[in-house]
Amino acid sequence: MTGIDLTTAAVGDTVAEQTLHFTRDSLVRYAGASGDFNPIHYRDDIAAEVGLPGVLAHGMLTMGAAIQPLIAELGDPGRVVDYQVRFTKPVVVDPVTGADVHVIAKVAQLADEEGIGRIDLEISCDGVKVLGKSQVRVRFAA
């Protein structure tokens, strides 16, 4: 697999961008794959009962999906050395329209002597940041 070579990138360069669409079906599939069947991820009545604004996407689903546009550009998931986020706001998934999560990946720190640099992800839904301090350390050479 070959992918984007970041050795000539500059801080601030956008290296990936995509809007991801989550539906209630997405949540059910993720629940089955992960084993996380907490009803706040599929039942409006339970979500309302505990004071949530609606059914929420799983945090780990959001985190895992958010890195995919960058991995597609890298061409090899093995180039990811570390990935960390801070969960800041939930993604509310409407039963009819779903939810769109927008991801922009930008170079934040150039490669060090070991060839590893940092890409920051901006992850938002309806203009609100849903994951903060989203940082991916990657091998910059393809």
Distance (Å, rounded) from C-alpha 26 to C-alpha 120?
Answer: 25
Contact 140, 117 (CB under 8 A): yes
Quickly count: other Cβ atoms within 10 Å of residue 132's Cβ: 14
Q: Is residue 48 part of a domain?
A: no
Give one DSSP letter per residue of 70-114, joined into a string. HHHHHS-GGGEEEEEEEE-S--B-BTTTBEEEEEEEEEEE---TT
pLDDT tens by residue, 87-121: 999 999 999 999 999 999 999 999 999 999 999 99
Q: Is residue 123 part of a domain?
A: yes
Q: How many domains does the chain have?
A: 1
pLDDT of residue 3: 86
Residue 2 — pLDDT band, cuts 50, 70, 90?
A: low
* pTM reported for the whole predicted model: 0.93
Q: What is the largest CA-CA distance in the chain?
A: 53
Q: Is residue 88 part of a domain?
A: yes
Q: Is residue 96 part of a domain?
A: yes
Q: Is residue 78 part of a domain?
A: yes
Q: Is residue 31 part of a domain?
A: no
Q: Is residue 108 part of a domain?
A: yes
For the domain that residue 74 is a member of, what is the CATH number? Answer: 3.10.129.10
Does 37 have pLDDT greater than 70?
yes
The first and second tokens of residue 39, run together, are 């009803």
- Can you give the residue range of the structural domain that contains 107? 14-22+59-139
Q: Is residue 46 part of a domain?
A: no
Residue 142 — pLDDT band, cuts 50, 70, 90?
A: confident
Q: Stretch 54-79: mean pLDDT, rounded?
A: 97
Q: Stretch 30-56: mean pLDDT, rounded?
A: 96
